[in-house]
Structure 1
Amino acid sequence: MILMPLMLRSLVKLATALVCEPTSTLTTILYYGNLLPRNLNLDRLVRREFLHQENHFFHFLTTMLRCVW
Structure 2
Amino acid sequence: MGAPRYWIVMPLMFRSVVNLGTSLVCEPTATLTTILYYGNLLPRDLNLERLVRREFIHQENHFFHFLITMLRCVW
TM-score over 0.5 (shorter chain): yes
Q: Please report the RMSD computed on the Cα atoms of aligned residues, expressed in angstroms.
A: 0.5
Larger-Rg structure: 2
Residue 19 of structure 2 is aligned to residue 13 of structure 1: yes
After TM superposition, which residue ranges in structure 1, 4 or more long, deviate above 4 angstroms?
none
Q: What are structure 2's unaligned runs of at least 5 residues?
A: 1-6
The separation in 2 between residues aligned to 1:60 and 1:31, in whole angstroms, is 14
| Aligned residue identity for 1:29 | I
* Amino-acid identity (%): 83
Q: What are structure 1's unaligned runs of at least 5 residues?
A: none
User: How many pairs are equivalent?
Assistant: 69
2:47 to 17, 35, 41: 41
